[in-house]
Amino acid sequence: MTKLLSMNRRNFLQASAAGLAAGVAPGLIGSPALAQTALTVGFIYVGPKDDYGYNQAHAEGAAVIKKMPGITLVEEENVPETVDVQKTMASMINLDGATLLFPTSFGYFDPHMLAMAAKYPKIQFRHCGGLWTEGKNPANTGSYFGYIFQGQYLNGVTAGYASKSKKIGFVAAKPIPQVLQNINAFLLGARSVDPTITCQVIFTGEWSLAVKEAEATNALVDQGADVITCHVDSPKVVAETAAGRGAFVCGYHANQSALAKDKYLTGAEWAWGNVYTNFIKAAQSGGKLGNFVRGGLKDGFVKMSPLGPAVSAEGRKKFEATLAEIMAGKFSVFKGPIKDNKGNVVITADKAYAEDAIDLESMAYLVEGVVGSTS
């Protein structure tokens, strides 16, 4: 009964909101152009938005669009990847009047965002990281992501010069394609400097587990890894623990140089402000929002932290040369021949994937030289 009641209330609110938009609003606001620019945008984060990591990168992007005229920003942090996120979306739509939603965490996509998109066909949903498929997923949904593995490749280049033990380490959350891309790119970058380098990976199994991340970092350093990077939601613990043990740190998501100080080599950072600005401009001008938006370093989706003092002159030269090639669109991180760490050829010699190759988004292997397993 309660459920029924709340449904009714929701439908009522929805109907009255629709009525407002259709009938009352144009009467009140004279010019249609002005009506177009007013837009309520909802951002949903899986963790705290000042975590030195994934959520902070998105929140910094949201802060950029907040300054744009006509934008009302609603945000909610610490929303689990469960039915909770559906409730958050419903409340943003029904109570705050949001018409464009950015659920930013990987696990929000399927089934939660897709279910809500089917229920609210007039609301636009754009998800970070999901693999939107035309025909399969609703037209009012879409996904955006950046080729941050290019940044991890450059991280690897600096790691290759900094490592004395020829062993580098990676603390990873879950073996999903985007994480595997980063691990592989990190090692390939290091191997472009010295092909004998190996990369040890430890999966923690969750996006945010402070104690386990610290244990994993310690275990990597114990095994001789002297450059550490990671792909977890908040790299704060990994960066501090690794630097505390005397290992070099390559950052991820955001700039952690304040945490690792002179042990910080460089870092692969998001530049979501540009991406969100484009979405908002399209929405405000009545244009079509892209359903499948991707970009890398040259598109301004991703940026690198300034190089730290521990990067040698030689390392700096190679880093800048590689970066210039990437910016010119002439560089391929995943260029055959590449074997996986079980000995199978995964990319043949005649193939060189551009960063936007769709095959890369379903990567399920670790390349030769990575010590670890995807299951």
Partner 1 sequence: MEDTGIGLWGVPLAIFAGAIRVSTPFIFVSLGETITERSGRINLGLEGTLVFGAMTAYAVAVMTGSPTLGVLAAMATGAMFGTIHGWICKWPKVNDIAIGIAMMQFGLGLAFFLGKSFIQPVAPKLPSIPLGSWSAVPQVQAALNINVLFFIGAALALFLWWAFKNTRVGLILRVVGDSTDAARAMGISPDRVRLLATAAGGSLAAIGGAYLSLYYPGSWNEGISSGQGLMAVALVIFARWNPIGCFLAALLFGGAGALGPALQSVGVTQGYYLFYAAPYVLTLIILIATSSPTRALAGAPGALSLTK
List residues near partner 1 by CB under 8 A. 47-48, 50-52, 78, 164-167, 196, 200-205, 208-216, 218-224, 226, 234, 236-237, 240-241, 245-246, 258-259, 371-373, 375
Q: 63 or 214: whose CB is closer to partner 1?
A: 214
Q: Within the chain, what is the greatest distance between any pair of CA atoms?
A: 71
Nearest distance in Å: CB 103, partner 1: 19
Distance (Å, whole) CA 355 – CA 302: 13
Nearest distance in Å: CB 78, partner 1: 6
Q: 291 or 341: whose CB is closer to partner 1?
A: 341
Upstream peptide bond of 111 is cis (omega within 30 degrees of 0): yes
Q: 174 or 339: whose CB is closer to partner 1?
A: 174
Q: 254 or 333: whose CB is closer to partner 1?
A: 254
Nearest distance in Å: CB 256, partner 1: 11
For the beta carbon of residue 306, count every other beta carbon within 10 angstroms.
11
Nearest distance in Å: CB 90, partner 1: 22
Q: 284 or 305: whose CB is closer to partner 1?
A: 305
Nearest distance in Å: CB 352, partner 1: 29
Q: What is the SS3 assignment for 199?
A: strand
DSSP state of 107: G
CA 337 to chain centre: 27
Q: 197 or 297: whose CB is closer to partner 1?
A: 197
- Going from the C-alpha of 246 to that of each of 146, 156, 262, the distances in angstroms are 31, 18, 10
Q: Where are the alpha helices (DSSP H) in 165-285?
A: 177-191, 210-222, 236-244, 257-260, 272-284
Buried b (16+ CB within 10 A) or exposed e, 94-130: beebbbbbbbbbbbbbeebbbebbeebeebbbbbbbb
Nearest distance in Å: CB 70, partner 1: 28
Nearest Cα to Cα of residue 217 among 186, 181, 182, 248: 248
The residue written with tokens 């899986």 in the block is 46
Q: 117 or 230: whose CB is closer to partner 1?
A: 230
Nearest distance in Å: CB 106, partner 1: 16
Q: 125 or 264: whose CB is closer to partner 1?
A: 264
Q: 116 or 220: whose CB is closer to partner 1?
A: 220
* 3-state SS record for 76-90: ECCCCCCHHHHHHHH
Nearest distance in Å: CB 53, partner 1: 9
Nearest distance in Å: CB 197, partner 1: 9
User: Which residues neighbour 73 within 8 Å (Cβ) at sequence distance 6 or greater?
Assistant: 40, 41, 43, 62, 65, 66
Distance (Å, whole) CA 74 – CA 66: 10
User: Which residues neighbour 171 within 8 Å (Cβ) at sequence distance 6 or greater?
Assistant: 201, 202, 204, 213, 216, 217, 220, 228, 229, 230, 231, 232, 238
